[in-house]
């Protein structure tokens, strides 16, 4: 049976792969449901596997979250549902949940022996479909298929609803549409909608699945256009119709925009909440002496938290801690970990693509969490690596963090560096190193805007971002950036899809980006000449393209950030601090605020440039997204409270917004840590 088709509809590819009417799956369903179960306890894992097999599901088991994520990334449409334990050593179950939500948009069920209300609530807020208390009974497992069906159904409904509402508006556009929102779909939707009401979910699913709902792929460019349009209108005034007009994309329907907007809004909201939390943390950290020593302490703290949150891979954590404490080995260790982090980050990037369609947008929380999660992990590491990098390079890279949301990570390092040399951004070499280390800089662009969703950039090439960022380390994306760095690794698998055409090696990508990035980048790239060498360090790590993105991004961001550098001085520090904490998002907001204002102007310019180049380079998904986000954010930052800065941008946006938010919050209220979903402080060790 093609259980795989269940996910099919969610993917960008044609929905035909999904359940088709008359498909034999419906008869056999839920048998054959592809379940991925993650639990670090082998006894429980064994029992669960047995139970799931008894339910006639197709089971894949993992005892580590990282393994599970890579499996999911390798085979995006290979699973229908994920069962995950909450407490795992390498990554917090909630972090994993966020990742999955952002990147794959699969239903996730959490499990735990803990039945405390808080934990269950956390599961809900993070977007879990269900929460099972251990010991899990087989009866509970027999019904998990309902979540798969429900999700698919909601996807369709969303589509339909947006379609039916827009019917009038869309009519004129439909003639233009070739791929999206064809009137046929509309008719189908309506039909299916009615049918849904009457029929069972399963049937509905089959029926709706037959509709070839064209899935709008929210590519980076598209999303950037979207964000640009939204910014132009103002988040409050942005109505789908106007956005659509501004975007002027043939084939895009009002419904597409409407649903995307909805997600974007949720995303922003989530980011603001999370970023606040992060900013609070950042504040705390920044308060500390940015010297390495303090960093270490922070790092330890952050690391734990991060580790707890799951973002920080266990090994990274170990490394970071080692680095923080002993500095000695940190750097070497970190790059690797960073890479991991990058990978994590990469997840986010794919998410941004919206390739999965609106569904990707899962929940704000998920996105937000994801973002936050990432930064946090990154930060500790980043800190360490940054430190080293900074110290070794002795400069500016501190500023780099600001480049993107990566700030969190970069921040620590950046801070230190920034303090020393905010002016020295040009020290590409150091930058490069920092970038390398902190991978954070994925979002070079971000830094300019305030640390915006560095994530998107971050993924690309942390290294590159460094170069560009040095100036603006403002590190909005601080916490995020660090994570971004990590992403590359994870992303590796995903990135390929992300159209990041960057070379396989970071170095290569950097070069590539150079070409791609006209104007800004070119200059940046040159500047980053120094980086290249450092980037090589990551080469091993950055096998994934994502890394290259970052570089590119960095380049781009760099230009824009140039302006902000001056402004960013303070921010950078804060950001670095933030980075250290890992909750850069929170801090960033505060910082971002001030930075935002400053960078806003600058960033806008930069954005434009980047946008132009980015658009030329489709591959720079992250960058673009980041840029836009940043732009949006910077604008928002000034105008709105951090909380609403980020619309529901998928993954990347979240990152960006988180970053921005961080900036803002830093400026506004250092301790606005609104970490609802993420209780970084209470991560069980």
Site residues for another protein per CB under 8 A: 40-44, 46-47, 50-51, 54, 85, 87, 112-114, 134-138, 684-685
Decide whether 43 or 248 has the Cβ nearer to another protein.
43
How far apart (Å, rounded) are the C-alpha atoms in residues 635 and 234? Answer: 9
Decide whether 113 or 239 has the Cβ nearer to another protein.
113
The set of residues, in sequence order, having a beta carbon less than 8 Å from that of 319 and lying 6+ positions away, is 329, 330, 333, 334, 336, 337, 381, 384
Nearest approach in angstroms of CB 681 to another protein is 12
Nearest approach in angstroms of CB 615 to another protein is 48
Decide whether 33 or 44 has the Cβ nearer to another protein.
44
What is the Cα 674 distance to its own chain's centre? 18
How far apart (Å, rounded) are the C-alpha atoms in residues 269 and 503? Answer: 35
Estimate the crossing angle of helix 364-393 against helix 330-353, to 10 degrees: 150
Nearest approach in angstroms of CB 593 to another protein is 35
Decide whether 40 or 169 has the Cβ nearer to another protein.
40
Nearest approach in angstroms of CB 142 to another protein is 12
Decide whether 136 or 658 has the Cβ nearer to another protein.
136
How far apart (Å, rounded) are the C-alpha atoms in residues 36 and 153? Answer: 21
3-state secondary structure of 460: helix
Where do runs of H (alpha helix) occur along 422-452?
A: 428-438, 444-449
How far apart (Å, rounded) are the C-alpha atoms in residues 405 and 384? Answer: 18
3-state secondary structure of 132: strand
Decide whether 138 or 184 has the Cβ nearer to another protein.
138
How far apart (Å, rounded) are the C-alpha atoms in residues 670 and 581? Answer: 13
Nearest approach in angstroms of CB 115 to another protein is 10
How far apart (Å, rounded) are the C-alpha atoms in residues 684 and 309? Answer: 9
Nearest approach in angstroms of CB 47 to another protein is 5
Decide whether 51 or 414 has the Cβ nearer to another protein.
51
Nearest approach in angstroms of CB 88 to another protein is 10
The set of residues, in sequence order, having a beta carbon less than 8 Å from that of 408 and lying 6+ positions away, is 278, 282, 375, 376, 378, 379, 382, 401, 440, 451, 475, 477, 478, 479, 480, 481, 482, 483, 575, 578, 579, 581, 582, 583, 584, 585, 587, 588, 659, 662
For residue 553, count CB atoms less than 10 angstroms from its CB and return exposed for 0-12, middle for 13-18, buried for 19 or more. buried
Closest among 553, 492, 541 to 350, alpha carbons compared: 492
How far apart (Å, rounded) are the C-alpha atoms in residues 455 and 440? Answer: 8
Residue 44 near residue 127, CB atoms below 8 Å: no
Decide whether 42 or 250 has the Cβ nearer to another protein.
42
Tell me which DSSP letter residue 475 carries: -
Decide whether 64 or 445 has the Cβ nearer to another protein.
64
Decide whether 138 or 178 has the Cβ nearer to another protein.
138
Nearest approach in angstroms of CB 53 to another protein is 8
How far apart (Å, rounded) are the C-alpha atoms in residues 576 and 581? Answer: 9
State the CB neighbour count (10 A cutoff) for residue 22.
11
Decide whether 423 or 681 has the Cβ nearer to another protein.
681
> What is the spatial order of strands in the sheet that 34-38 belongs to?
58-62, 34-38, 81-85, 108-112, 130-133
Decide whether 119 or 666 has the Cβ nearer to another protein.
119
3-state secondary structure of 249: coil
Nearest approach in angstroms of CB 48 to another protein is 8
Nearest approach in angstroms of CB 113 to another protein is 4
Nearest approach in angstroms of CB 43 to another protein is 4
Nearest approach in angstroms of CB 682 to another protein is 10
3-state secondary structure of 21: coil
């Amino acid at each position: 049976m093609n259980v795989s088709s269940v996910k099919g509809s969610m993917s960008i590819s044609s929905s035909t792969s999904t359940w088709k009417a008359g498909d034999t799956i419906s008869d056999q369903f839920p048998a054959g449901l592809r379940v991925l179960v993650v639990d670090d306890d082998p006894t429980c894992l064994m029992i669960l596997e047995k139970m799931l097999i008894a339910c006639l599901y197709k089971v894949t088991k993992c005892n580590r979250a990282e393994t599970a994520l890579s499996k999911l990334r390798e085979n995006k449409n290979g699973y229908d549902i994920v069962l995950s334990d909450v407490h795992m050593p390498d990554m917090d179950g909630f972090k994993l949940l966020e990742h999955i939500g952002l990147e794959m948009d699969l239903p996730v069920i959490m499990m735990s022996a803990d039945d405390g209300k808080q934990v269950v609530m956390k599961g809900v807020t993070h977007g879990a479909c269900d929460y099972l208390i251990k010991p899990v009974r087989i009866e509970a497992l027999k019904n998990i298929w309902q979540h798969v069906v429900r999700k698919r159904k909601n996807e369709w409904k969303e589509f339909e609803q947006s379609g039916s509402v827009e019917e009038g508006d869309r009519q004129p556009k439909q003639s233009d549409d070739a791929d999206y929102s064809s009137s046929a779909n509309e008719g189908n939707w309506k039909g299916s909608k009615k049918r849904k009401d009457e029929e069972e979910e399963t049937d509905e699913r089959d029926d709706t699945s037959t509709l070839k709902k064209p899935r709008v792929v929210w590519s980076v460019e598209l999303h950037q256009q979207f964000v640009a349009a939204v910014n132009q209108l103002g988040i409050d005034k942005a109505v789908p119709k106007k956005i659509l007009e501004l975007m002027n994309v043939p084939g895009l329907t009002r419904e597409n925009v409407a649903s995307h907007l909805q997600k974007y809004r949720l995303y922003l909201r989530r980011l603001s909440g999370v970023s606040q939390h992060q900013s609070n943390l950042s504040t705390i950290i920044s308060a500390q002496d940015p010297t390495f020593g303090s960093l270490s302490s922070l790092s330890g703290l952050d690391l734990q938290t991060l580790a707890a949150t799951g973002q920080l891979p266990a090994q990274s954590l170990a490394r970071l801690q080692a680095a923080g404490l002993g500095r000695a080995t940190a750097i070497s260790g970190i790059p690797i970990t960073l890479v991991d982090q990058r990978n994590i980050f990469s997840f986010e990037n794919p998410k941004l693509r919206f390739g999965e369609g609106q569904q990707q947008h899962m929940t704000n929380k998920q996105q937000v969490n994801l973002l936050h999660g990432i930064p946090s992990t990154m930060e500790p590491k980043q800190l360490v690596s940054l430190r080293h990098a900074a110290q070794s390079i002795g400069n500016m890279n501190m500023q780099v963090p600001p480049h993107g949301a990566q700030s969190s990570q970069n921040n620590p390092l950046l801070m230190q560096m920034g303090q020393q040399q905010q002016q020295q951004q040009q020290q590409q070499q150091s930058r490069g190193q920092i970038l390398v280390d902190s991978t954070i800089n994925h979002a070079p662009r971000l830094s300019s805007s305030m640390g915006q969703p560095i994530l998107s950039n971050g993924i690309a090439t942390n290294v590159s971002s460094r170069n560009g960022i040095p100036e603006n380390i403002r590190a909005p994306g601080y916490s995020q950036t660090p994570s971004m760095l990590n992403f590359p690794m994870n992303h590796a698998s995903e990135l390929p899809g992300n159209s990041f055409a960057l070379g396989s090696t970071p170095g290569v990508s950097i070069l590539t980006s150079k070409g791609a990035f006209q104007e800004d980048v070119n200059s940046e790239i040159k500047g980053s000449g120094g980086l290249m060498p450092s980037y090589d360090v990551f080469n091993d790590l950055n096998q994934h393209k994502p890394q290259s993105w970052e570089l590119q991004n960095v380049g781009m961001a760099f230009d824009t950030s140039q302006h902000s550098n001056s402004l960013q001085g303070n921010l950078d520090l804060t950001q670095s601090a933030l980075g250290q904490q890992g909750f850069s998002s929170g801090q960033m907001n505060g910082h971002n605020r001030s930075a935002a204002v400053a960078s806003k102007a600058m960033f806008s310019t930069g954005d434009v440039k980047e946008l132009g180049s980015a658009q030329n380079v489709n591959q720079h998904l992250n960058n673009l997204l980041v840029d836009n986000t940043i732009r949006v954010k910077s604008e928002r930052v000034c105008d709105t409270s951090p909380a609403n800065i980020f619309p529901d941008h998928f993954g990347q946006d979240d990152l960006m917004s988180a970053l921005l938010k961080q900036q803002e919050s830093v400026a506004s209220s250092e301790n606005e840590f609104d970490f609802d979903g993420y209780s970084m402080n209470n991560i069980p060790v």
